[in-house]
C-alpha cells in the first residue's frame, strides 16, 4: 500500500520542486563564490563516433560510419513510426515497417554524461527529444554482468523513492501499471528500440555546470530499468527531453537548448546541451508544436542557392489523422522529406552536379550518391535552406547535405520519407546551429553558431 506519507512527500516535491532548484542553484553558486552569474546546467554532447564515446573505434572508416548513420537513422524512423502507431492504438499500421529495418536497435547520435546519486555512479545516456522519460539501468539487471561501469543499485540509496501509482507522474506515462505495493511501473517498448521496463522513481542527479562546478538536482523523476534485452556497457540509458509531466525538460524549467557543431570530426568537442534557465533561446524563432510527444515545426519551403523550390506549402502539413508534418529530431543523423519535397530537391541537386558521376549506391537507402570528395569537389556548392514559419531558417552547407561514404564517393544525407511518415530534420542538418526549445512559450529558436564560442 502506498502510504499517505509517500503521497504527501510527492505532493511536496511537486509543489516545491522549482523552488528547490532555485535554492540549489543559489547555494551552489554561493558556496563557490562565483559572483552573481547564474550557473548553467551544461552538458557536453558526446557524438557516438567521438574519441570520447565508448563506441569509438579507430579502425572504422568513413564508410563504416556513414553506413551506421544511415542504418541508425532508419531504425530511428521505425521507432518513431511505431510510437505514433501505438499512440493511436492502430496496430495494423505497423505492417508498413519493412522487416529488414529491424535488424538493429536504434543507438542514437549524442550521449550525455551525468551522475546518479553520487559521483561514483557516472552515467552516459542517449539524448532523445522524442522520449518522455529519463531512464537508466538499475540493479537487479539481468544483462549487466559484463558492464564496464558501476551500475546503480536503488536498494542501497537513501535518496531513492518509488513513485506511487496514483501520482500524476505515473499517470502521465502511457504504459504504466502498479506493483502489489502501489508503486508505479513503467514500460517503453518501441519498434527499433531496446525495450525498457522498471520502476518509476525519484533520485538525486548530479550535473556539471558551465563553471566546472557540480549541481545536484534532488528528487528527479526517472525510470529505474530492471528489464531490458540490451547488454548495457558504457551507455546506461536514455535522457528523454520530450515534453510531458515526467520529462526532464519539463521539470527543469520547460526549456533547453543544444548546439551542434561538427559531427564528422571525432575530436570535435564543442557540441553541448543546456538544460533549464541557462538555455540559449536566441536567433529567429518559429512556432513549436508538441504532438504525440514529438516536436513539430511548420516548414514553409526549401531553397537551393537562394532560389525557392517549387513545393506547395501544404506538402509539409500534418493531416488531421497525424500523417506527414515536419518533426525536428535529435535521435537520428539523417533527414527525411516527404516524397513531393524530396523529388523536387533531388532533381534540383542532380541538375547542379555532374550527372556522369552519379552511381548506384552501396548505401542502399540513399538514392543520390556521387563519385568524389565532399571537401574537395563540391566546395561552394549552394546551400540548401529550410524555411520555417515566422522567418526562422536552417541552412545546410555541402558538409551537412552530403556525407563521404567511401574514400571516393559521397551521398546525400536527406532521404525520402515513406508515405504517411513525417519529414524529419536530423542532427546532420542541424550542424552549425544552436537550437533552443521553449516548451511553455511554444517556440523553437534557430541560430547559426560556432559552438566553440559557447565554451568560455
Cell triple for 418: 515513406
160 contacts ligand NAG (rule: CB under 6 A): yes
Strands 423-425 and 326-328: parallel
Rule CB under 6 A: choose which of 104, 150, 168, 181 binds ligand NAG: 181
* Site for ligand NAG contains 61 (CB under 6 A): no
Among 8, 16, 88, 347, binds ligand NAG (CB under 6 A): 88
Question: Binding ligand NAG by CB under 6 A: which of 73, 271, 404, 421?
Answer: 404
Distance CA 439, CA 402 (A): 31
Hey, what's the cell of 139?
540493479
377-380: long-range contacts, CB 8 A cutoff, minimum separation 24: 378/353, 378/402
Q: How far is the CB of 183 from ligand NAG (least distance, A)?
A: 5
Pick out residues in 225-254 that bind ligand NAG (CB under 6 A): none
Contact stretch for ligand NAG (CB under 6 A) within 17-25, 178-186, 234-242, 289-297: 178-186
Among 1, 4, 145, 376, binds ligand NAG (CB under 6 A): 376
Stretch that binds ligand NAG, among 64-72, 85-93, 273-281, 387-395 (CB under 6 A): 85-93
Q: Does 319 bind ligand NAG (CB under 6 A)?
A: no
Give least dist CB 6 to ligand NAG, A. Answer: 9
Cβ 372 to ligand NAG shortest distance, Å: 9
Query: How many CB atoms sit inside 10 A of residue 4's CB?
Result: 9
Task: Supply the minimum distance, in Å, between the C-beta of residue 176 and ligand NAG.
Answer: 14
Residues whose CB falls within 8 Å of the CB of residue 150, separated by 6 or more in sequence, listed in order:
120, 121, 122
> Which of these ranges, 88-96, 115-123, 134-142, 270-278, lies near ligand NAG under the rule CB under 6 A?
88-96
When computed from its CA atoms, the radius of gyration of the chain, rounded to whole angstroms, is: 22
Q: Which stretch binds ligand NAG (CB under 6 A): 20-28, 36-44, 246-254, 368-376?
A: 368-376
Instruction: Give the nearer residue to ligand NAG in terms of CB position, either 87 or 350.
Output: 87
Sheet holding 402-404, edge to edge: 358-359, 369-371, 409-412, 402-404
Question: With binding defined as CB under 6 A, does residue 434 bind ligand NAG?
Answer: no
Among the listed ranges 123-131, 304-312, 324-332, 371-379, the one in contact with ligand NAG (CB under 6 A) is 371-379
- The residues that touch ligand NAG, with contacts defined as CB under 6 A, are 62, 88, 90, 92-93, 160, 162, 179, 181, 183, 199, 321, 373, 375-376, 404, 407
Amino acid at each position: 500500500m502506498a502510504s499517505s506519507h509517500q503521497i504527501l512527500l510527492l505532493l511536496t516535491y511537486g509543489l516545491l520542486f522549482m523552488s528547490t532548484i532555485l535554492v540549489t542553484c543559489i547555494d551552489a553558486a554561493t558556496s563557490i563564490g562565483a559572483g552573481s552569474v547564474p550557473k548553467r546546467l551544461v552538458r557536453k554532447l558526446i557524438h557516438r563516433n567521438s574519441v570520447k564515446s565508448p563506441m569509438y573505434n579507430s579502425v572504422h572508416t568513413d564508410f563504416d560510419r556513414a553506413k551506421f548513420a544511415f542504418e541508425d537513422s532508419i531504425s530511428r524512423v521505425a521507432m518513431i513510426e511505431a510510437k505514433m502507431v501505438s499512440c493511436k492504438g492502430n496496430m495494423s499500421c505497423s505492417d508498413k515497417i519493412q522487416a529488414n529495418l529491424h535488424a538493429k536497435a536504434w543507438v542514437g547520435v549524442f550521449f550525455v554524461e551525468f551522475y546518479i546519486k553520487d559521483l561514483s555512479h557516472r552515467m552516459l545516456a542517449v539524448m532523445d527529444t522524442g522520449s518522455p522519460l529519463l531512464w537508466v539501468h538499475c540493479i537487479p539487471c539481468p544483462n549487466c554482468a559484463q558492464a564496464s561501469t558501476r551500475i546503480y543499485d536503488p536498494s542501497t540509496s537513501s535518496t531513492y523513492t518509488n513513485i506511487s501509482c496514483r501520482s500524476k507522474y505515473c499517470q502521465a506515462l502511457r504504459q504504466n501499471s502498479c506493483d502489489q505495493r502501489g508503486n508505479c511501473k513503467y514500460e517503453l517498448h518501441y519498434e527499433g528500440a531496446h525495450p525498457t521496463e522498471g520502476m518509476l522513481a525519484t533520485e538525486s542527479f548530479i550535473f556539471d555546470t558551465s563553471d566546472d562546478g557540480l549541481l545536484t538536482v534532488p528528487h528527479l523523476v526517472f525510470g529505474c530499468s530492471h528489464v531490458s534485452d540490451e547488454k548495457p556497457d558504457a551507455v546506461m540509458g536514455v535522457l528523454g527531453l520530450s515534453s510531458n509531466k515526467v520529462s526532464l525538460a519539463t521539470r527543469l524549467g520547460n526549456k533547453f537548448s543544444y548546439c551542434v557543431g561538427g559531427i564528422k570530426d571525432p575530436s570535435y568537442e564543442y557540441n553541448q546541451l543546456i538544460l533549464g534557465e541557462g538555455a540559449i533561446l536566441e536567433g529567429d524563432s518559429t512556432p513549436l508544436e508538441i504532438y504525440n510527444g514529438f516536436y513539430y515545426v511548420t516548414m514553409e519551403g526549401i531553397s537551393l542557392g537562394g532560389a525557392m523550390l517549387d513545393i506547395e506549402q501544404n506538402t509539409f502539413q500534418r493531416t488531421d489523422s497525424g500523417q506527414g508534418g515536419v518533426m525536428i529530431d535529435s535521435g537520428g543523423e539523417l533527414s527525411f522529406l516527404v516524397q513531393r519535397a524530396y523529388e523536387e530537391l533531388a532533381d534540383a541537386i542532380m541538375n547542379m552536379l555532374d550527372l556522369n558521376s552519379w552511381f548506384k549506391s552501396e548505401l542502399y537507402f540513399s538514392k543520390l550518391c556521387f563519385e568524389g570528395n565532399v571537401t574537395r569537389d563540391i566546395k561552394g556548392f549552394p546551400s540548401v535552406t529550410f524555411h520555417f514559419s515566422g522567418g526562422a531558417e536552417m541552412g545546410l552547407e555541402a558538409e551537412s547535405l552530403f556525407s563521404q561514404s567511401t574514400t571516393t564517393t559521397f551521398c546525400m544525407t536527406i532521404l525520402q520519407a515513406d508515405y504517411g511518415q513525417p519529414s524529419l530534420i536530423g542532427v546532420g542538418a542541424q550542424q552549425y546551429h544552436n537550437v533552443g526549445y521553449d516548451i511553455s512559450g511554444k517556440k523553437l529558436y534557430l541560430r547559426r553558431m560556432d559552438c566553440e564560442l559557447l565554451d568560455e
